[in-house]
Amino acid sequence: MPTGPVVIGVDSSTQSTKAALVDTETGALLALGRAPHTVGGAEGARETDPEEWWTALTRAVADALRQSAVPPAAVTGIAVAGQQHGLVVLDAAGRPLRRALLWNDTRSAPQAAALTDALGSPGAWLARTGSVPVASMTAAKWQWLREIEPRTAAGAAAVRLPHDFLTERLCGTAVTDPGDASGTCWYDTGRAAYDHELLALLGLDPALLPAVAPTGGTRVGTLTPAAADALGLPAGVTVAAGTGDNMAAAVGLGLGGAGLLDRPVVSLGTSGTVFAATRTRPASPGIAGFAAADGSHLPLGCTLNCTLAVDRIAALLGLDREDATRGDGLVLLPYLDGERTPDLPHATGLLTGLRHATTPQALLGAAYEGAVFTVLRALDELLAACGLDPAAPSVRELPLRLIGGGARGRVWTDTVRRLSGRPVVVPAATELVALGAAALAGAAANGVDPVALATVWGAGAGRELDPVEQDEDTWQRIAGVLAHAAPTLLG
């Protein structure tokens, strides 16, 4: 039984929704409900019906309540952390006009390039939004919709991000937060406001957008009677503004922008991401200069191909994901869905170094190495964007927080350690996005700081792994192939 009030943190990710019941006094995870949703599309398209997210949210909350002995009346707050960048367009009744375009839908790559040119240069975008348009960003997706489906764009009465859509369903208020808004490329992270000149460039009426709450832990309302009935909760439950999934993970880890850089994180999930909290506002074309849920900054690098791509290679080879050995001279860049960092939206996978003696296990190991190299290369870009030398001994001594589904895999962890040569911490908590959302809910319900609350919960603590000698031969081999493989050969 809980020792204090209970909150619900919702992780609405690409393929499923999780709802965590958390004791606000101890941070104990009392139950975790789950429900899937589907992703459709081919040839670069990735779409989901937003109504599936809402159905999955209600089912995940019901599942969590069934598992636990927590009475619904004990729940005091709820917050949603959602997959970033997705484009949701609604009619005047709040119903989706079409399936949502997801973050990993690469069809908007031409629109991203055109938008960059329209403002004059990548630097112009960096100065205003902290990021350069790529296919992932919501602005590029909106521009794609305007060009390819103009009647749908013209009929939109509201434009939302995935977490905004769910928050509005919970409390009836159209609201977002600085963290998730910073992934649109129409939000100025320096002024902490929508950029109306960019909205004019995009032909997007500001009235279609939600208000921006000061932080993700801001109280924005309470459950509507309809939402309370759907969730089996009291109507008075506090609803927080919520945030994007990466921002929520940072909160769950207790990351705050207290200095130049706070604890770099490597997340191995469907995508691979690297991020860190900082008070500085970095500006680098290869890094997304996001805002954090607590008002600081959260520079982030993202690769599209991580655990899902490696699992696909394992399936093609008929191997278990843990069957891999070292790549043995192979290089496999598993760009199965294009790539974001580096920005190669039309890329395909690249394999070189095959010999008669090559084993399936070594081929799978090369897929791991290619994916980890790409993630760690993004980390080096992030460190440089924050004014740090990635090769400096003091920087190399910074422990990497390794999170996501891949952090539970032996080969993933071993490959990160071998290619990075850095100390690694694997937090004991496995549901950091949901826990971060729960901390935002607790902050909204109790008027406390969400990062401080998560720090008390201690979710960022875990198993500490000493550094091993860096495998420079493998690193340089992959770097050499990437440097000499022209984008035209990659897609």
Torsion of CA 385, 387, 388, 391, to 10 degrees: 70
Q: At what angle do helices 432-446 and 450-457 cross, to 10 degrees?
A: 120
Report the b/e string of 338-370 with b at 16+ CB within 10 A.
Answer: bbbbbbbbbbebbbebeeeeeebbbbbbbbbbb
CB 16 within 8 Å of CB 131: no
Task: Round to whole Å and give the CA distance between 259 and 470.
Answer: 28
Task: Round to whole Å and give the CA distance between 453 and 66.
Answer: 26
Coil, helix or strand for 81? Answer: strand
In this structure, what token pair is assigned to residue 247? Answer: 């921002």
Residue 483: Cβ-neighbour burial (10 angstroms; 0-12, 13-18, 19+): exposed
Q: At what angle do helices 360-385 and 472-484 cross, to 10 degrees?
A: 80
Q: From the CB of residue 84, how many other CB atoms can be counted at a distance below 10 Å?
A: 29
Q: Which residues are catalytically annotated?
A: 245
